[in-house]
Structure 1
């Protein structure tokens, strides 16, 4: 299969990706911080099984960010 995009289209996509990447990196950083905070709180809770700490932390952070 060959490339279906022209050189101009490829350059336009590349330029857009360069604009978006810093925002995506910031989002990853903020998401990681939020997951870490939930992790610490769930880890301290004796009512939560250790195996459930990571999944709950991730789910809680994503829910708080609006990814239900």
Structure 2
């Protein structure tokens, strides 16, 4: 009976190690995705600012023509 319990325990340990490895990989992946999303947000904010500047310049040019 001892060998049977040991084999079950070893199987449990191996599955647990595999799950820990998967979780660790997911954490790394999540960090990368979060950083990428933060970078995208910065770029979108910059684009929004540039678009607002273009609109303001266009409005100024239209007022100058009138």
- State TM-score, norm by structure 1: 0.46
Structure with the larger helix share: 2
Return the structure number with greater relative CO, CA threshold 8 A, min gap 6.
1
- State TM-score, norm by structure 2: 0.47
